[in-house]
């Protein structure tokens, strides 16, 4: 069960791109059909088995948050014709991912624990604990990897000096990033969650900047439960969290960190089911509604049919 990949031949299709999680079809060089599969990646490696309903969870969480942030910045979405599909405008993407962190967790903590106090050109104060709230949110951009490569940390100064993004546009991206994160934190707090860190991708059509891809999903974000956060922090205990970090931690425990020559550990059906349930739990926690599972009988055919029906109406 679950959808690992698609191989559609859509009307007026001009390009196809297979990302780590998404299969992206370009129509007439101006419209993107993004199929969010059930593939799961960690340490920039796509794991061999799909996680049922993961794609639907990501797609439907992103839909809610993209609709809720349109007053901050326009986004690429035109329609969501299937639980696993979003269709929208093709933008010229900026070649950076805008990562913003409000807490010392994940990659930021691993960097800090190693003794470094600089992260993407941002200096961190001494004496911080794992998962502690930072004095203020910090932006730690990364380069946007192509063809499955690794995203690399980069500083604001490098982005501007290398001409990856103009200074004028980059300052706008930072402004949008801070506003989107603040909105995401507000919406998470309403559900008893903390939006710890997240990332955004932006693109342009003409002079207009658009928000692209997904936002505030467990693949692009980390959430803690608000209840018990302070107590766990005081006791140096791990936070109860809803994110993909639990998958990374399981892989690390089993000797896999994405290095060349390492083999992905076997994921039992029970392990796959538990990951699927964690994704559904995040959906229900952050959206505050019961998750309605999409029809799984011939999921590929369902997706293709819903895409074709939408595209026919646009002709």
CA 219 to chain CA centroid, nearest Å: 4
CB 80 within 8 A of CB 55: no
Query: Do 72 and 116 fall within a single domain?
Result: no
Q: What is the C-alpha to C-alpha distance for residues 39 and 21, in angstroms, rounded to an integer? A: 5
Q: Is residue 219 part of a domain?
A: yes
Q: How many CB atoms lie within 10 A of CB 244?
A: 23
**Model confidence, pTM:** 0.90
Q: Is residue 35 part of a domain?
A: yes
Query: Do 162 and 66 fall within a single domain?
Result: no
Going by C-alpha positions, the residue among 142, 146, 144 that lies closest to residue 17 is 146
Q: Is residue 250 part of a domain?
A: no
Q: Would you say residue 149 has pLDDT above 60?
A: no
Query: Do 167 and 83 fall within a single domain?
Result: no
Query: Do 116 and 157 fall within a single domain?
Result: yes
Question: What CATH number does the domain containing 304 carry?
Answer: 3.30.200.20
Query: Do 208 and 98 fall within a single domain?
Result: yes
Q: Would you say residue 53 has pLDDT above 60?
A: yes
Query: Do 48 and 135 fall within a single domain?
Result: no
Name the token pair of 89: 């405008």
CB 215 within 8 A of CB 99: no
CA 22 to chain CA centroid, nearest Å: 11
Q: Is residue 53 part of a domain?
A: yes
Query: Do 145 and 173 fall within a single domain?
Result: yes
Rounded to the nearest 5 degrees, what angle is found at the Cα of 210, between the Cα atoms of 219 and 190?
50
Domain count, the chain: 2
Q: Domain range spanning residue 187?
A: 93-243
Query: Do 183 and 287 fall within a single domain?
Result: no
For 128, residues 6+ apart whose C-beta sits below 8 A from its C-beta are 104, 112, 134
Q: Would you say residue 190 has pLDDT above 70?
A: yes
Q: What is the C-alpha to C-alpha distance for residues 34 and 65, in angstroms, rounded to an integer? A: 17
Query: Do 108 and 153 fall within a single domain?
Result: yes
Helices (H), 162-289: 167-190, 229-234, 245-253, 269-287
Q: Is residue 239 very low, low, confident or very high in pLDDT (cuts 50, 70, 90)?
A: very high
Question: Among the three residues 220, 243, 266, which one is the final residue of a domain in this structure?
Answer: 243
The mean per-residue pLDDT over the stretch 147-160 comes to 83
Q: Is residue 173 very low, low, confident or very high in pLDDT (cuts 50, 70, 90)?
A: very high
Query: Do 98 and 161 fall within a single domain?
Result: yes
Question: What CATH number does the domain containing 109 carry?
Answer: 3.30.470.20
Q: Is residue 260 part of a domain?
A: no
């Amino acid at each position: 069960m679950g959808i690992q990949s698609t191989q559609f031949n859509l009307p007026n299709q001009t390009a196809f791109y297979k990302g780590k999680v998404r299969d992206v079809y370009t129509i007439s060089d101006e419209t993107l059909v993004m199929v969010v599969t059930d593939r799961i990646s960690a340490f920039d490696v796509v794991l061999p088995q799909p996680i049922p309903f993961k794609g639907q969870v990501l797609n439907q969480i992103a839909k809610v948050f993209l609709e809720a942030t349109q007053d901050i910045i326009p986004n690429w979405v035109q329609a969501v014709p299937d639980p696993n599909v979003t269709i929208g405008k093709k933008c010229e993407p900026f070649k950076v991912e805008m990562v913003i962190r409000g807490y010392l967790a994940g990659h930021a903590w691993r960097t800090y624990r190693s003794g470094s106090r600089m992260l993407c050109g941002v200096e961190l104060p001494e004496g911080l604990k794992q998962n502690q709230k930072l004095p203020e949110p910090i932006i730690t951009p990364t380069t946007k990897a192509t063809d499955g490569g690794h995203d690399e940390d980069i500083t604001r100064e490098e982005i501007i000096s290398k001409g990856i993004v103009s200074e004028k546009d980059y300052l706008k991206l930072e402004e949008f990033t801070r506003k989107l994160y603040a909105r995401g934190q507000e919406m998470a707090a309403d559900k008893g969650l903390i939006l710890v860190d997240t990332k955004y991708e932006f693109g342009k059509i003409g002079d207009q900047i658009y928000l692209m891809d997904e936002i505030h999903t467990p693949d692009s974000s980390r959430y803690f439960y608000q209840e018990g956060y302070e107590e766990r922090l005081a006791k140096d205990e791990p936070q109860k969290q809803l994110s993909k970090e639990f998958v990374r931690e399981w892989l690390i425990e089993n000797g896999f960190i994405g290095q060349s020559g390492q083999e992905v550990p076997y994921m039992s059906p029970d392990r796959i089911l538990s990951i699927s349930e964690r994704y559904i739990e995040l959906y229900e926690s952050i959206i505050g509604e019961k998750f309605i599972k999409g029809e799984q009988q011939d999921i590929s055919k369902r997706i293709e049919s819903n895409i074709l029906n939408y595209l026919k109406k646009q002709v």
